[in-house]
A and B are shown apart, each in its own frame.
Chain A
């Protein structure tokens, strides 16, 4: 662009630009003012309360399952927190499982085995070309109607029962962990780790630093377990058993959660698989050949040549895929799992304060998405190409 003479903002072109922008602002502000004015008038005529005071009131609706302890007597604020916790846990579980399954799908799509190739290709096309809502409803119908009732529950492995009431499985937990035992365990673990690291530091020709870290961690774990055993802590297990109406004991996954996790994981895995496959294929055959001519075997070529380069291509679309998973958890509403969106919908029904409810829902999603993007951008910078 040619250098501008001083005071160029007085030129006709710039005056037009400024006028245009001022008109734009005036229009937008006018529209917003009009909408707010309408809203206030409507709220007044319909005598709907406004403000966030309701958050401190008792919610008085149940949440069928919750990661955090919740009772109907808790406040609306706590109901939102419980819903948010459910959403976040669901999103993390779905993201982790679909990444694993997506990796398998990507490998199968690159395989020369016609069975694996055919199966994975049809899977991907089927998942990507039908709405996820339809899939979720299908799985929910299958889980609630296709499975036998509790008295005829399927038991693929002893102690694991699958029925229309959900998935029941044994729960393993620690008993007898008292505070002194825990403190003693932690102290001895720290001591062991410190001694190992100290000895390593003093000897000039020691183990590889990573191996040394592993030894220290293993020693610390052993010390912790030993302290626990000496202190009287032990593992306990409860196995679900059929009582008159339902299983008791063990852990449960409700049909809603089973259908939701199954549906979202399968749907997301198809997209994750295609992202991973695209990343690996984008690296190019020349890199494999280069790795081989350096004398690396296939495994080492993959690990040291292909994967580091593929990761750079994979991470940006993976970020948006994880954000999509987070957004898709709101579909929990259609199968009746109490995530943040369901809690919001119930709150709006109960209080009539739609604006506040939607503002809360939207701000939480904005914050979650921005933090997810920030986190993945940090990961992306770690693996980005170092320009020399």
Chain B
């Protein structure tokens, strides 16, 4: 931070730190009794919800806890209680798919790497250009660790990859590749040149009008037909292409919101300083535009995480599909609800974490007094 006092001026008091916020005035909190049974509508809502909860919660507890099967074997699961023992035995397959069991420390390491990177990126003070580089390096390292064939690691085909690492890789790659593409589309949409503008609008609107499923079909079925004979494209790569294009269209609309929020005077000032269009965009417009839309961008990441679960329709084994594959074991009575709850819990932890973080960022990044 540079000194706030202009050179040659002394004896000027400039506050460098903001004032502490004052506590809000003490509100009047109605008593619990009043908020539950204050008037007729409230009281009937309380009775209705209370009744439903009283009826359902004990049954759920009985299913999940008291009658749930926590120890034993497949035969212990009689169907009256939750078959948690299935998850105890199958969690490696749900989390890592059919990756060779002896090598499962590799997907585990990949998950740990992504988790560490995500935690490190949480603090806004760690956001530098090195963060992006670190993410790129970690992603490439993750791909190498999964694929093997280097550093003496045995090679593992992408068709054997599965579970949480696939979900994380799909998310990171579709955000990482989709974001630059989205920025380009957003810039194109705002461009004064007619052709790039029309092309960007067409791409964004068509992709947003399509269900993700149809875009996955295009990538899974049409891409192999459209490439020259002899060029085969990996199934995982095809899903990444589809998710990247889909994410790019949605991220582009968020970035466009940010671009529209940058006053035109900023670009004019930069041009007046003699900066070229590219320099104006890169150094003046984009940094302001993107910092305005970081919270909605983070929320778009939640949508992208949830969307990765759709790769099930093109036969890729992400977290959800690995769970379904684990259920196919005929020795077990098929504890579907338990498995889906487990899978849903993992998605929930990731998505709820990101959306809470977005809410925190929105509060934290907004300049004081502007709200």
Question: For the side of the interface on A, what is the size category?
Answer: 35 or more
Supposing A21-B195, A134-B344 touch, asked if A114 and B35 sit within 8 A by C-beta, the answer is yes
B36 / chain A contacts, CB cutoff of 8 Å: 113-115
- B149 contacts the other chain (Cβ, under 8 Å)? no
* Count, A-B residue pairs, CB within 8 A: 154
- B194 contacts the other chain (Cβ, under 8 Å)? yes
Supposing A113-B42, A115-B36 touch, asked if A138 and B229 sit within 8 A by C-beta, the answer is no
A134 / chain B contacts, CB cutoff of 8 Å: 309, 320, 340, 343-344, 347
- A366 contacts the other chain (Cβ, under 8 Å)? yes
Report Cα–Cα, A319/B250, bound state, in Å: 16
Does the CB pair A114–B211 fall under 8 Å? no
- A39 contacts the other chain (Cβ, under 8 Å)? yes
Supposing A113-B45, A138-B337 touch, asked if A354 and B312 sit within 8 A by C-beta, the answer is no
Of the candidates A28, A41, A114, A348, which one forms a contact with B221 in the assembled complex, judged by CB atoms under 8 Å apart? A348
Supposing A113-B36, A331-B213, A358-B214 touch, asked if A21 and B320 sit within 8 A by C-beta, the answer is no
B222 / chain A contacts, CB cutoff of 8 Å: 354-355, 358
Beta-carbon contacts under 8 Å, A329-382 to B:
330-331, 333-334, 341, 344-345, 348, 354-355, 358, 361-362, 365-366, 369-370
Q: How distant is A77 from chain B, measured CB to nearest CB, in Å?
A: 19
Q: How distant is A345 from chain B, measured CB to nearest CB, in Å?
A: 8
- B310 contacts the other chain (Cβ, under 8 Å)? yes
B50 / chain A contacts, CB cutoff of 8 Å: 115
- A60 contacts the other chain (Cβ, under 8 Å)? no
Does the CB pair A354–B193 fall under 8 Å? no
Report Cα–Cα, A128/B310, bound state, in Å: 16
Does the CB pair B35–A365 fall under 8 Å? no
Beta-carbon contacts under 8 Å, B312-371 to A:
312-313, 320, 324, 334, 336-337, 340-341, 343-344, 347-348, 351-352, 355
Question: For the side of the interface on B, what is the size category?
Answer: 35 or more
Supposing A17-B193, A113-B46 touch, asked if A135 and B337 sit within 8 A by C-beta, the answer is no
A155 / chain B contacts, CB cutoff of 8 Å: none
Does the CB pair B211–A327 fall under 8 Å? yes
Report Cα–Cα, A345/B32, bound state, in Å: 55
A-B contact list, 10 entries, CB within 8 Å = A38-B226, A111-B42, A112-B30, A129-B348, A130-B351, A131-B307, A132-B306, A137-B324, A341-B213, A365-B210
In addition to A114-B36, A115-B49, A358-B214, 18 A-B residue pairs with Cβ atoms within 8 Å of each other are: A38-B225, A42-B229, A112-B30, A113-B45, A126-B348, A129-B348, A130-B347, A131-B347, A134-B343, A134-B347, A137-B336, A138-B341, A138-B344, A327-B212, A330-B211, A355-B222, A361-B214, A362-B210
